[in-house]
């Protein structure tokens, strides 16, 4: 069949409140043109993030009732731990309330002044958690990964030559090599199994731990199945196990590829490191058998991990992003190619060449999407990355707008509506003006900066 259907039917629905353009104009001004300040009730299609926004299955809802809320040694923890180890056979699994908590604990143990942490591309919370300890974060993705038009099948790959050179030069200060699969900040681009193995080999050659940020591991595994010839006939589950076989640990946000609304974990093989991390976990998250989560959350994750490797689901999931990207391209709206898994990344800098990067073309497009159609998206560009620690402002490598697809939430007619809103914007795109920032915090300004249209 040509039509790839949503491989589920809907038995609980959540109504969407419709709004008018006038209403949205007022709401935008009240939110100082920052979509993080808009109330969710005032959004028609919320593509702000795929994180924590998944629809749970009936089996997950049922698992919630079975949650064991004991403080220590709960049955939920052992179900969670077994589900994690089934796919990622690490020795120690520490539950955390979300991904950044795992990062904070990890870098509180291995970070610090003088420390340098290379990755393909650190996600912003990972970078911030590294920098908060006084350490430095470095992005060493392949050059193709920074070119929105390059059709390389694995644009999330680590640049192995640069990694070698980096380790040869800075080896002494490097506690680990990280790899984000898929590479979210770089456009949701996957990393090949070959590159994962080669990155592990380079790290180990220099005596460094190899750690994976596994947020969207299942989507990455399905891309490997689709695009890496030698893997075409393998089960996604087995590809996942191979992706992590050479790693020494992982950080994870269960809010992505575990279909959970909250949760995460830090997994490690090293006993000493795990012990230090566990001590920190007790301080900041909770006892090691719940780590900042309710027993019911642990059960939702355990069930979610069984569902996420379903290949019918993954085929539908990846097709959804590709479908929207193809239709946007047909309208002349440039997107990062090839389309990623969890999101479509629109190249706002190319789409709006009359708006200079320091007037935030990405934010301008995100604001227009809300005004025109009540769609909430997220700028990933100069607003997010442009402010340097010394207070200077520089254009980011790209100015993108991310349309992140919540898992199992929206249907094809929602996708068609999004395309139609773009069609209306594209007709009059010359009229869009940039923005200026009238207030900002010192760090992670995209969450709370206030803007004014030019």
Minimum CB–partner distance for residue 435 and ligand F0G (Å): 21
Nearer to ligand F0G, 184 or 335 (CB): 184
Among 98-106, 235-243, 285-293, 392-400, which window interacts with ligand F0G (CB under 6 A)? Answer: 98-106
Minimum CB–partner distance for residue 445 and ligand F0G (Å): 15
Minimum CB–partner distance for residue 23 and ligand F0G (Å): 26
Inter-helix orientation angle 217-227/311-330, to 10°: 80
Residue 121-140 contact track with ligand F0G, rule CB under 6 A, x = bound: --x-xx--------------
**411: its two tokens:** 């249907």
Beta bridge partners of 335: 346
Minimum CB–partner distance for residue 123 and ligand F0G (Å): 3
- Burial bucket for residue 296 (CB in 10 Å: 0-12, 13-18, 19+): middle
3-class DSSP state of 338: coil
| 157 binds ligand F0G per the rule CB under 6 A | no
CA angle 44, 369, 363 (to 5 degrees): 125
Scan residues 177-216 and list those touching ligand F0G (CB under 6 A). Answer: 180, 184, 213, 215
Residue of 79, 255, 317, 337 that binds ligand F0G (CB under 6 A) = 255
Say which DSSP state 171 is in: G
| 407 binds ligand F0G per the rule CB under 6 A | no
Minimum CB–partner distance for residue 428 and ligand F0G (Å): 29
**Beta carbons within 10 angstroms of residue 90's beta carbon:** 20
Residue of 253, 303, 339, 359 that binds ligand F0G (CB under 6 A) = 253
Helix/strand/coil (H/E/C) assignment for every residue in 134-153: CCEEEECECHHHHCCCCCCC
> What is the spatial distance between Cα 185 and Cα 398, in angstroms, rounded to a whole number?
10
Assess contact for 8 and 312: CB atoms under 8 A: no
Cβ-closest position to ligand F0G: 99
Nearer to ligand F0G, 154 or 434 (CB): 154
Assess contact for 311 and 222: CB atoms under 8 A: yes
Write the DSSP assignment of 86-150 as a string of letters: HHS--SEEEEESSHHHHHHHHHHHH--TT-EEEES---HHHHHHHHHTT-EEEE-B-GGGG-TT-
Minimum CB–partner distance for residue 182 and ligand F0G (Å): 8
> What is the spatial distance between Cα 129 and Cα 140, in angstroms, rounded to a whole number?
18
Nearer to ligand F0G, 98 or 192 (CB): 98
Nearer to ligand F0G, 4 or 146 (CB): 146
Nearer to ligand F0G, 188 or 434 (CB): 188
Among 5-13, 97-105, 387-395, 433-441, which window interacts with ligand F0G (CB under 6 A)? Answer: 97-105
State the DSSP H helix or E strand holding residue 238, giving kind and residue range, or none if neither.
helix 236-245
Scan residues 50-79 and list those touching ligand F0G (CB under 6 A). Answer: 51
CA angle 294, 341, 192 (to 5 degrees): 100
Nearer to ligand F0G, 317 or 429 (CB): 317
Among 2-10, 92-100, 310-318, 329-337, which window interacts with ligand F0G (CB under 6 A)? Answer: 92-100
Q: Phi then psi for 275, rounded to 5 degrees? A: -65, -45
Nearer to ligand F0G, 349 or 402 (CB): 402
State the DSSP H helix or E strand holding residue 225, giving kind and residue range, or none if neither.
helix 217-227
Nearer to ligand F0G, 38 or 432 (CB): 38
| 264 binds ligand F0G per the rule CB under 6 A | yes
Assess contact for 189 and 182: CB atoms under 8 A: yes
Minimum CB–partner distance for residue 10 and ligand F0G (Å): 24
Nearer to ligand F0G, 96 or 359 (CB): 96
Residue of 28, 34, 49, 142 that binds ligand F0G (CB under 6 A) = 49
Assess contact for 288 and 105: CB atoms under 8 A: no
> What is the spatial distance between Cα 183 and Cα 154, in angstroms, rounded to a whole number?
10
| 377 binds ligand F0G per the rule CB under 6 A | no
Total of residues contacting ligand F0G (CB under 6 A) = 15
> What is the spatial distance between Cα 85 and Cα 95, in angstroms, rounded to a whole number?
12
> What is the spatial distance between Cα 266 and Cα 204, in angstroms, rounded to a whole number?
20
Nearer to ligand F0G, 51 or 289 (CB): 51
Nearer to ligand F0G, 68 or 370 (CB): 370
- Least Cα distance to 272 among 109, 100, 72 occurs for 109
Residues at the interface with ligand F0G (CB under 6 A): 49, 51, 98-100, 123, 125-126, 180, 184, 213, 215, 253, 255, 264
């Amino acid at each position: 069949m040509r039509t790839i259907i949503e491989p589920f039917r809907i038995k609980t629905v959540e109504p969407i409140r419709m709004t008018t353009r006038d209403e949205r104009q007022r709401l935008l001004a009240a939110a100082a043109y920052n979509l993080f300040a808009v109330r969710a009730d005032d959004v028609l299609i919320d593509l702000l993030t795929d994180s924590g926004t998944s629809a749970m299955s009936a089996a997950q809802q049922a698992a919630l009732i079975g949650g064991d809320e004991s403080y220590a040694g709960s049955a939920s923890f052992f179900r969670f731990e077994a589900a994690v180890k089934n796919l990622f056979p690490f020795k120690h699994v520490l539950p955390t309330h979300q991904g950044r908590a795992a990062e904070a604990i990890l870098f509180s143990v291995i970070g610090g002044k003088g420390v340098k942490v290379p990755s393909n591309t650190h996600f912003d919370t990972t970078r911030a958690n590294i920098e908060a300890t006084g350490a430095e974060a470095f992005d060493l993705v392949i050059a193709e990964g920074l070119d929105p038009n390059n059709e390389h099948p694995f644009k999330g790959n680590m640049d192995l030559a640069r990694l070698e050179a980096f380790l040869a030069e800075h080896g002494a200060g490097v506690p680990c090599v990280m790899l984000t699969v898929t590479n979210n900040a770089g456009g949701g681009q996957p990393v090949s199994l070959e590159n994962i193995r080669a990155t592990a080999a380079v790290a180990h050659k220099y005596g460094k731990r190899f750690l994976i940020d596994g947020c969207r591991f299942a989507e990455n595994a399905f891309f490997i199945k689709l695009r890496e010839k030698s893997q075409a006939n393998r089960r996604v589950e087995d590809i996942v196990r191979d992706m992590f076989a050479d790693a020494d640990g992982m950080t994870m946000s269960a809010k992505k590829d575990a279909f959970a609304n909250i949760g995460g974990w830090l997994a490690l093989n090293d006993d000493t490191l795990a012990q230090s991390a566990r001590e920190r976990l007790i301080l900041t998250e909770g006892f090691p058998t719940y780590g900042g989560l309710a027993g019911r959350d642990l059960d939702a994750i355990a069930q979610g991990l069984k569902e996420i490797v379903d290949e019918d689901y993954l085929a539908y999931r990846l097709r959804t992003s590709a479908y929207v990207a193809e239709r946007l391209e047909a309208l002349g709206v440039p997107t990062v190619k090839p389309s990623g898994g969890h999101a479509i990344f629109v190249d706002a800098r190319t789409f709006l060449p009359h708006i200079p990067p320091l007037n935030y073309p990405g934010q301008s497009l995100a604001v227009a999407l809300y005004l025109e159609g009540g769609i909430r998206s997220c700028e990933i560009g100069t607003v997010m990355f442009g402010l340097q620690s010394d207070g200077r402002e520089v254009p980011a490598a790209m100015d993108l707008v991310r349309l992140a697809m919540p898992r199992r939430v929206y249907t094809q007619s929602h996708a068609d509506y999004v395309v139609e809103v773009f069609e209306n914007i594209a007709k009059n795109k010359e009229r869009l003006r940039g923005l200026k920032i009238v207030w900002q915090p010192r760090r992670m300004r995209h969450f709370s900066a206030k803007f004014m249209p030019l």
